[in-house]
């Protein structure tokens, strides 16, 4: 396999639970970049809380944000591709009011949420931009929705199934997310590598969550973190270590560079 690009998930992959990048992960990424491999971030996060890490690593590649709903230019942060999701608002707000949950709506011009929490406070601290609205979302004036997060605090596949005709659903242990149909990190990767004339067979993707499944399944080599669920590991070609133990660096150093003389890179 000739590797020209690697797409890296952030939470549970690049980052430790402390939201920091370890020196070992950082140095491993630098080694790849020196070999001419293009390194990309592909995350469920919005741009404002992706860009600081993109800058910290020193990347000059586009950022895939909000599970592929938006692609941002490396230099300007400008959205170069955007896919909005549309659900029946009256029905959606009725259902999310009936069921106890928090709702976070990511739009092209900011974040709207039913209530704040520790995660949103962290986003505000890192991204330097607070939510545009907190409260009853039926009264919020928002447009151009890119991703909707419904946080129920537990797996909610029966609840999320109510929206499958309107959106693509990503189920998590604490709720679910909605994006436009046929939108995923993989759909964004396809767009980027097409422009760069890179074949999917020359691409590696690494991640740990259900929003990583499509990209792991379709690239030349899909890598699951040791902390990933069995569902994610099942679609991967390789399983590396836990994100708290620098599983990203372990894969790069112990697999890719050990195979260097075998023309892996």
Domain of 144: which CATH number?
A: 3.30.1240.10
Asked if 71 and 190 sit in the same domain, the reply is yes
Read off the pLDDT of residues 138-177 as tens digits, 9 standing for 90 and up.
Answer: 999 999 999 999 999 999 999 999 999 999 999 999 999 9
Residue-wise pLDDT for 9-32, tens only, equals 999 999 999 999 999 999 999 999
What is the side-by-side order of every strand in the sheet holding 102-107?
133-134, 110-113, 102-107, 145-151, 175-179, 168-172
Is the pLDDT at 136 greater than 70? The verdict is yes
DSSP code of residue 254:
I
Specify whether 27 is located in the same domain as 96: no
Q: Which domain does 155 fall in, by range? A: 89-179
**Domain count for the chain:** 2
Task: Judge if 173 and 102 occupy the same domain.
Answer: yes
Write down the residue that tokens 């919005």 correspond to.
Answer: 46
Domain end, chosen from 179, 200, 229, is at: 179
Q: Same domain for 72 and 143?
A: no
What distance in Å separates the CA atoms of residue 222 and residue 204, rounded to the nearest whole number?
A: 6
Q: Which of 179, 196, 226 is the last residue of a domain?
A: 179
Query: What is the pLDDT, as a whole number, of residue 19?
Result: 97
Percent of the chain with pLDDT over 70: 97
Which of 179, 210, 234 delimits the end of a domain? 179
265 pLDDT above the threshold of 80: no
CATH number at residue 22: 3.40.50.1000
Task: Transcribe 11-61 into DSSP letters.
Answer: BTTTB-TTS-B-HHHHHHHHHHHHTT-EEEEB-SS-GGGTHHHHHHHT--S
**How do beta strands 70-72 and 63-65 pair?**
antiparallel
| pLDDT reported for residue 257 | 81
- Whether the model pTM is above 0.85: yes
Q: Are residues 156 and 35 in the same domain?
A: no
Q: Could you give the 3-state DSSP secondary structure of residue 169?
A: strand
205-243 pLDDT, tens digit each: 999 999 999 999 999 999 999 999 999 999 999 999 999
Burial of 155: CB neighbours in 10 Å, binned 0-12, 13-18, 19+: middle
Q: How confident is the model at residue 1 (pLDDT cuts 50, 70, 90)?
A: confident
**What is the H or E stretch that residue 183 is in?**
none
Q: Which residue has the tokens 């069921």?
A: 99
What pLDDT was estimated at residue 256? Answer: 85
pLDDT at 92: 97
Please check the confidence at residue 260 and state whether its pLDDT lies above 80.
no
Looking at per-residue pLDDT, the higher value among 184 and 261 belongs to 184
* 258 pLDDT above the threshold of 80: no
Mean pLDDT over the full length of the chain: 96
Residue 55 exposed, middle or buried by CB count within 10 Å (0-12, 13-18, 19+):
exposed
Residues 73, 105 within the same domain: no
Please say if the pLDDT value at position 263 is more than 90: no
State the DSSP string of 73-87: -TTT--EEEE-----
């Amino acid at each position: 396999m000739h590797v020209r690009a690697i797409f890296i998930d952030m939470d549970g992959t690049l980052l430790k639970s402390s939201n920091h990048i370890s020196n070992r992960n950082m140095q491993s990424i630098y080694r790849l970049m020196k070999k001419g491999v293009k390194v990309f971030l592909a995350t469920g996060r919005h741009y404002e809380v992706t860009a600081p890490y993109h800058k910290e690593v020193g990347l000059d590649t586009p950022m895939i944000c909000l599970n592929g709903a938006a692609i941002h230019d490396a230099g300007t942060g400008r959205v170069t591709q955007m896919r909005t999701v549309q659900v029946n608002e009256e029905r959606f707000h009725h259902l999310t009011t009936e069921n106890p949950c928090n709702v976070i709506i990511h739009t092209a011009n900011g974040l709207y949420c039913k209530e704040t929490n520790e995660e949103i406070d962290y986003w505000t601290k890192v991204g330097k931009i607070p939510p545009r609205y907190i409260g009853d979302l039926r009264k919020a004036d928002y447009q151009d929705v890119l991703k909707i997060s419904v946080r129920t605090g537990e797996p909610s596949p029966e609840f999320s199934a109510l929206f499958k005709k309107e959106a693509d659903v990503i189920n998590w242990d604490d709720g679910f997310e909605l994006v436009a149909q046929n939108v995923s990190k993989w759909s964004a990767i396809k767009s980027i590598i097409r422009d760069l004339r890179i074949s999917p067979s020359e691409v590696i993707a690494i991640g740990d969550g259900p929003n990583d499944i499509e990209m792991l399944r379709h690239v030349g080599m899909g890598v699951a973190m040791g902390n990933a669920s069995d569902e994610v590991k099942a679609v991967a070609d390789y399983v590396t270590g836990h994100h708290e133990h620098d599983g990203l660096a372990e894969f790069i150093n112990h697999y890719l560079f050990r195979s260097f003389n075998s023309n892996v890179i």
